[in-house]
Amino acid sequence: MTGPALVLVVAVAVLFAAGFDLLMQRSLIRIVVGFMLLGHGANLLLLLAGGAAGSPPLLGKRSTRPMADPLPQAMALTAIVITFGVTAFLLALAFRSRMLLGEDEVRDDVEDHRICAERRHEAWAGGPDEEADPLEEDAEHQDAEQEGAERGNGGTGGAA
C-alpha cells in the first residue's frame, strides 16, 4: 500500500472512530455531528475502494491507463445525497427537541429501566432460597415512587 492510500485509510479510521464516539453521546447535536463524520468516512472509503485513477470510462478515447470504475464514484455521490437528507432530518429533530424540552440531551426511558430491573431481579432471584439483589429492590422502590409522583398521588408508590 502506497503512502497516499495509507493516509486515506488512517483518515477513514479516524473519521469512523470519532463518528462512533460522538454517536454514543447523549447530546443530539453531537449525535448529528457523529453521523456526519460517519458519512464522510463512508464517502472516503468508497472512493478509496475505487482504486487508482484511470482513464475516463465514457469518452471512448484510447489510453494506456486502464479504464476507471465509475461505480464507486456513483455510490459516493448517492451516499452524499443520503447523508445530506438524513442530516437535515436529524437537525430538524434536534431543533424541535430543543424547542419543546429546552435541552438537547436524550432522556432515560423509565419503562426501559423498569423492564431491565425486572429481568435482573428475575436473574438474581433464580431459586426460592436465593435472595434478590438489594440494590435492585431499592431501584424498583424509587421507580415506583417516581411513577406515583407522576400520577399525582404524592409519590406513595401506588400500584403499577
> Is the CB of residue 20 less than 8 Å from the CB of residue 30?
no
pLDDT of residue 130: 53
Q: 104-157 pLDDT, tens per residue?
A: 888 878 888 888 888 888 888 764 455 555 555 666 666 677 776 666 655 454
Give the Cα separation of 48 and 118 in Å (integer).
Answer: 48
What is d(CA 35, CA 93) in angstroms, rounded to the nearest whole number?
14
Q: Residues 77-96: what's their mean pLDDT?
A: 92
Which H helix or E strand runs over 120?
helix 110-124
Q: At residue 63, does pLDDT exceed 60?
A: yes
**What does the block give as the cell for 52?**
487508482
Q: What is the pLDDT of residue 158?
A: 47
Amino acid identity at 46: L
DSSP 8-state assignment for residue 125: -
Residue 128: per-residue pLDDT: 45
